[in-house]
Structure 1
Amino acid sequence: MENFELTILGCGSAMPTTRHYPSAQVLNHRDRFFMIDCGEGAQLQYRRNKMKFTRLQHLFISHLHGDHCFGLIGLISTLGILGRTGELIIHAHADAERVFKPHLDYFCHELPFNVRFNAISPSKNEIIYEDKALRVSTLPLKHRIPTCGFLFEEKEKERHLIGEMIKFYNIPVKEIADIKQGADFITPEGIIIPNNRLTRAADPSSRYAYCSDTIYQNKLISLIEGVDLLYHESTFADDNKARAKETFHSTAIQAATIAQKAQVGKLMLGHFSARYMDDSIFLQEAREIFPDTILANESLKIKF
């Protein structure tokens, strides 16, 4: 199966602690790295997890609160020191370029590569990145400032050839690509050989939904229905549900309710408030509603 792996670099919230770094993740798809949020210390965690800086091509910033983007300038500066030459693309709210461009001009004015900002609309559900194998869409969230999550979807994969059948029917190389896509083969005599005789089913495609800072909202359910893994913030436990509502955050129970209603494969909780010294309370509360729940933690890796 193709490489599709998530690494957690940080899962804390705004108040710094010695237990967690601020929000940052890296999704590895076919050895191309996509960073999701970039809190302070993201580049240190990136190096600690022995990931190659040259593989990083795109950054997705959910919103412009510091615990989700204060690591950006340091990371870009380091990429310049390492001699990177390929373009780096930052997908973020339109204000991101206005906020970070002066810092880049001052601290990173001699970069050997181009930094390009791709302005996104957090209030819309739309495709913001696409290549031949992967699609990324925004997930509108409701927070104190414009905020969105991201849905990463592998495109449908090619079917597997049955080697002995390809050889038996002496199928020309020029026909192989179409057969992998599901086409039948027509022999020189006009006989149709059905595709299911020549191939096996493709590997299932993976889907990952990242939902950062947000209040509970039912409209998210249809957008993430059936994803393999849902990361949903759970800043507070149920003892602080009033505070969660006041600050436009979610509780572990609310995150689990979203997961249950969306029938996701697995739920990962994160963005833990510094007021809790033991994260297990989030897990206990969420599993009462959605048993297949885990906690995010620094350096945790999940393979799809």
Structure 2
Amino acid sequence: MKNFELTILGCGSAMPTTRHYPSSQVLSYGEKLFMIDCGEGAQLQFRRNRLKFSKLHHIFISHLHGDHCFGLIGLISTLGILGRTGELVIHINSEAERIFRPHLDFFCRELPFEVRFEPLPRKHEVIYEDRTMRVSSLPLKHRIQSCGFLFEEKEKQRHLIGDMVKFYNIPIKELAGIKSGADFITPEGTIIPNERLTRPADPISRYAYCSDTTYLEKLIPMIEGVDLLYHEATFAEDNKVRAKETFHSTAIQAATIAQKAHVKKLLLGHFSARYEEDSIFLKEAEQIFPNTILAKEGLHINI
């Protein structure tokens, strides 16, 4: 079974503080690392959490505000110094190449690998897919185009029951089909139902990342029942008006989305620098959605 683990590199908002780094996360799945946002200091946190640069697969940037993307050039430069050769794909706003390409040409002009900017859509659709993982876009509502991401495992194969495979003397060439759900037909023509030969597949894991956005109920059907929801909680209720003005969310609004979407666990982050204690966000969110935790640098969560 592949590991599906989230590491928080930064969970602060735009104003730097001594408590939090700007937004950045890494999702580990099998031998691949997927970075989600890349604020300043992301590569330092990458090192601090003993993550391997060689396993970094794709980068997903929610929007073009500095606290979510100012770490990109430094990270790419480091990857070049380390001798990376494989293509790096950055899923990002369509304006990004016009902005970042001149910086790459000046600071990283002899990169041993290609950097490809893959424009994000403005609707909910699959933006990355491999044999075992699927990533979809989640359109958010912010001051500029903003996009969340849904990471989900693909359906897994059923488990063979060894004793039944031996009992029916099933040829090796038939096993792959049976694991995928096929029945077995004996040489005599008898149909052996798949349920007799296999046990159910392991459940898939799903993670949704939603930052930055105002309260947005359109998200609910897209993230219904996810194992873990990261939702921004820039403000507490004392700044609810400010949250609306800046197209951000409060902790209670994030908890309400989690409750209505029936998610299993809520992770809050993107905390405003005006609060000296993050505990206020947890206290308010738990009134609506008890299974809430706070993001913090170095936090590892098995999904």
TM-score bracket for the superposition, by shorter chain length: over 0.9
Between the aligned partners of 1:7 and 1:95, the Cα distance in structure 2 is 28
Between the aligned partners of 1:38 and 1:55, the Cα distance in structure 2 is 16
Answering whether residue 78 of structure 2 is matched by residue 66 of structure 1, we say no
Aligned to 2:206: 207
Paired residue total:
303
Q: 1:231 Cα deviation (Å)?
A: 0.2
Q: For 1:176, what is the secondary structure of its paired residue?
A: helix
Matches within 5 A, 1:171-186: 171-186=170-185
Between the aligned partners of 2:167 and 2:104, the Cα distance in structure 1 is 60
Answering whether residue 107 of structure 2 is matched by residue 107 of structure 1, we say yes
Q: Which 4+ residue blocks in structure 1 deviate beyond 6 angstroms?
A: none
Aligned to 2:288: 289
AA paired with 1:70? F
Between the aligned partners of 1:164 and 1:84, the Cα distance in structure 2 is 47
Q: 1:294 Cα deviation (Å)?
A: 0.3
Between the aligned partners of 1:106 and 1:170, the Cα distance in structure 2 is 65
Aligned to 1:33: 33
Post-superposition Cα deviations, 1:14-46, rounded to whole Å, max 9, x if no partner, equal 000010000000111112110000000000101
Aligned to 2:300: 301
Post-superposition Cα deviations, 1:80-123, rounded to whole Å, max 9, x if no partner, equal 100111111000111111111001111111111111111112x2
Aligned to 1:262: 261
Between the aligned partners of 1:200 and 1:211, the Cα distance in structure 2 is 35
AA paired with 1:27? L
Between the aligned partners of 2:120 and 2:139, the Cα distance in structure 1 is 11
AA paired with 1:109? R
AA paired with 1:258? I
Post-superposition Cα deviations, 1:143-185, rounded to whole Å, max 9, x if no partner, equal 0000010011111101111112112222111111111101011
Q: For 1:239, what is the secondary structure of its paired residue?
A: helix
Between the aligned partners of 1:247 and 1:271, the Cα distance in structure 2 is 13
Between the aligned partners of 1:113 and 1:158, the Cα distance in structure 2 is 35
AA paired with 2:80? G
Q: 1:3 Cα deviation (Å)?
A: 1.0
What are the ranges of 5 or more consecutive residues in structure 2 without an aligned counterpart?
Answer: none
AA paired with 2:264? G
Matches within 5 A, 1:59-138: 59-121=59-121, 123-138=122-137
More deviation in 110-119 or 279-288? 110-119
Q: For 2:244, what is the secondary structure of its paired residue?
A: helix
AA paired with 2:43? Q
Query: With structure 2 as the length reference, what TM-score do the two structures score?
Result: 0.99
Aligned to 2:247: 248
What are the ranges of 5 or more consecutive residues in structure 1 without an aligned counterpart?
Answer: none
Between the aligned partners of 1:95 and 1:130, the Cα distance in structure 2 is 23
Q: 1:213 Cα deviation (Å)?
A: 0.6
Identity %: 77
Post-superposition Cα deviations, 1:203-256, rounded to whole Å, max 9, x if no partner, equal 100110000010001111111111110000000000000110111100000000
Between the aligned partners of 1:21 and 1:169, the Cα distance in structure 2 is 59
Between the aligned partners of 2:56 and 2:102, the Cα distance in structure 1 is 23
Between the aligned partners of 2:111 and 2:196, the Cα distance in structure 1 is 54
AA paired with 1:246? E
Query: With structure 1 as the length reference, what TM-score do the two structures score?
Result: 0.98
Between the aligned partners of 1:150 and 1:218, the Cα distance in structure 2 is 16
AA paired with 1:297? K
Q: 1:72 Cα deviation (Å)?
A: 0.3
